[in-house]
C-alpha cells in the first residue's frame, strides 16, 4: 500500500489505518450491531493481516477499554513496523466517560500508555476532545504538556481529535496534525482538511464509514459500491493522510484494503 506523509512529522502512513475500539470495548459504543470482543488469537491474525496488506497505522486510546493492553502483547514482535497512535484526556469507566486535561493526568496517562503498549515511545498522541475544543486548546495544560513530552523524545508527533470546525482550525495552527470526522454524510470539517493541507499539517480521518451507519436503500449505494464511494470521498482529498477504519472482521479489513489500494493507482 503506497504511503502518504503525515504532514511534516517525517512519518509515512498507509492511507488506511486500523481503529481498535472493538479490540477492547463493546459497551457504550455507537455501532449499529452488538459484538463480542475477539480472542487474542483472532486479534493476532488481524494484526498479521494488516501488516501483509501494507497497513502501518494503528489507532487506540485509554478510553477504548482494554485495547492498549491487548495491543501491547500483540505488537511485541512488530512494534516498529507500525505508526502507533494513542490519546490523552478521556477515561471510560463504569459505562461512562470522564475528561481530564491537566498536566498531572496527561503525564500519568502517557506513562500508563507506554506500560500498556510495552513501548518506550509513541508515534502520535492526540488530545481526546470532550467537544469543548477551544477551551481545551486555550485554557488547559494539554498542548504544553504534550510538547514537553515530545521534546523528551517520548512522543514523535502531537495533535487533537477535534469535534468542531473552530477547534480543528486552531489545532492545525498549534500542533503537528489533526483528526477530524469526514464522510459522505458529514462534510463540514472539509475546511479543516483544506486548511491543514495549506499549512502542510497531517490529517487523520475518523468515522470515514460513519461507524457503519452510512445506510442507503438504492442498489447503487449497497455493498462494495457504497464502500468504494465512501473511501473515494475521503481518500481522494489530497490533504488526508490516513483514514482510520475500525474492524475486527478479517473479510472487512481485506475489502477495505482492496478498495483503498485501488484508489491509490
Residues contacting residue 41 through CB under 8 Å, at least 6 positions apart: none
Q: What is the pTM of this model?
A: 0.93
- Which pLDDT does position 225 carry in this prediction? 79
Residue 225 belongs to domain with CATH number:
3.20.20.100
Mean pLDDT of 62-68: 97
Is the model's pLDDT at 57 over the cut of 60? yes
Residues contacting residue 4 through CB under 8 Å, at least 6 positions apart: 12, 13, 14, 15, 240, 241, 242
- In tens, the pLDDT along 113-141 reads 999 999 999 999 999 999 999 999 999 99
Is the model's pLDDT at 218 over the cut of 60? no
For the chain, what is the domain count? 1
Q: What percent of the chain has pLDDT over 70?
A: 94
Cross-strand pairs, 246:
19
- Select from 159, 116, 131 the least CA-distant residue to 11: 159
The three grid cell numbers given for residue 253, joined into one nine-digit string: 479489513
Q: 180 phi and psi, to 5 degrees?
A: -130, 160
Domain encompassing residue 258: 4-264
Is the model's pLDDT at 220 over the cut of 90? no
The DSSP H or E segment spanning 105 is: helix 103-117
- pLDDT band with cut points at 50, 70 and 90 for residue 219: very low
- Residue 91 CA to its chain's centroid (Å): 16
- Select from 113, 236, 167 the least CA-distant residue to 179: 167
- Select from 189, 144, 145 the least CA-distant residue to 167: 189
- Considering the candidates 64, 108, 121, 182, report the single residue annotated as catalytic: 64
Is the model's pLDDT at 217 over the cut of 70? no
Cell 482550525 locates to 169
- Which pLDDT does position 28 carry in this prediction? 87
Collapse the DSSP code of 191 into the 3-class scheme (helix H, G, I; strand E, B; otherwise coil) and give the result: helix
- Which pLDDT does position 41 carry in this prediction? 97
Is the model's pLDDT at 54 over the cut of 70? yes
Cell 502517557 locates to 110
Collapse the DSSP code of 177 into the 3-class scheme (helix H, G, I; strand E, B; otherwise coil) and give the result: strand
Longest dimension (CA), the chain: 53
Is the model's pLDDT at 31 over the cut of 60? yes
Q: Is there a catalytic annotation at residue 108?
A: no
CB-CB contact of 11 with 157 (8 Å): yes
Mean pLDDT of 40-61: 97
Is the model's pLDDT at 216 over the cut of 50? no
- Which pLDDT does position 213 carry in this prediction? 55
- Select from 194, 140, 138 the least CA-distant residue to 167: 138
Q: 127 phi and psi, to 5 degrees?
A: -75, 125
- Which pLDDT does position 221 carry in this prediction? 41
Query: Between residues 93 and 152, which one has the greater pLDDT?
Result: 152
Rounded Cα distance, 54 and 257, in Å = 8
Is the model's pLDDT at 147 over the cut of 50? yes
Rounded Cα distance, 168 and 133, in Å = 8
Mean pLDDT of 75-90: 97
Amino acid at each position: 500500500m503506497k504511503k502518504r506523509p503525515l504532514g511534516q512529522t517525517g512519518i509515512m502512513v498507509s492511507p488506511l489505518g486500523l481503529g481498535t475500539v472493538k479490540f477492547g470495548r463493546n459497551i457504550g459504543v455507537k455501532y449499529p450491531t452488538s459484538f463480542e470482543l475477539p480472542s487474542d488469537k483472532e486479534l493476532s491474525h488481524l494484526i498479521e493481516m494488516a501488516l501483509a496488506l501494507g497497513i502501518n497505522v494503528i489507532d487506540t486510546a485509554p478510553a477504548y477499554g482494554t485495547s492498549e493492553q491487548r495491543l501491547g502483547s500483540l505488537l511485541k514482535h512488530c512494534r516498529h513496523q507500525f505508526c502507533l497512535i494513542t490519546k490523552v484526556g478521556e477515561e471510560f469507566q463504569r459505562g461512562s466517560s470522564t475528561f481530564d486535561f491537566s498536566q498531572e493526568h496527561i503525564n500519568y496517562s502517557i506513562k500508563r500508555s507506554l506500560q500498556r503498549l510495552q513501548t518506550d515511545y509513541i508515534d502520535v498522541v492526540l488530545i481526546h476532545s470532550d467537544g469543548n475544543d477551544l477551551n481545551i486548546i486555550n485554557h488547559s495544560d494539554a498542548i504544553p504538556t504534550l510538547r514537553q513530552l515530545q521534546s523528551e523524545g517520548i512522543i514523535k508527533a502531537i495533535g487533537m481529535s477535534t469535534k468542531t470546525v473552530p477547534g480543528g482550525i486552531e489545532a492545525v495552527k498549534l500542533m503537528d496534525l489533526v483528526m477530524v470526522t469526514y464522510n459522505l454524510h458529514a462534510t463540514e470539517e472539509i475546511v479543516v482538511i483544506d486548511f491543514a493541507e495549506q499549512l502542510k499539517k497531517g490529517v487523520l480521518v475518523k468515522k470515514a464509514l460513519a461507524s457503519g451507519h452510512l445506510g442507503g436503500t438504492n442498489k447503487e449505494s449497497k455493498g462494495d459500491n457504497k464502500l468504494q464511494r465512501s473511501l473515494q470521498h475521503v481518500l481522494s482529498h489530497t490533504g488526508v493522510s490516513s483514514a482510520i477504519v475500525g474492524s475486527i472482521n478479517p473479510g472487512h479489513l481485506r475489502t477495505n484494503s482492496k478498495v483503498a489500494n485501488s484508489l491509490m493507482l
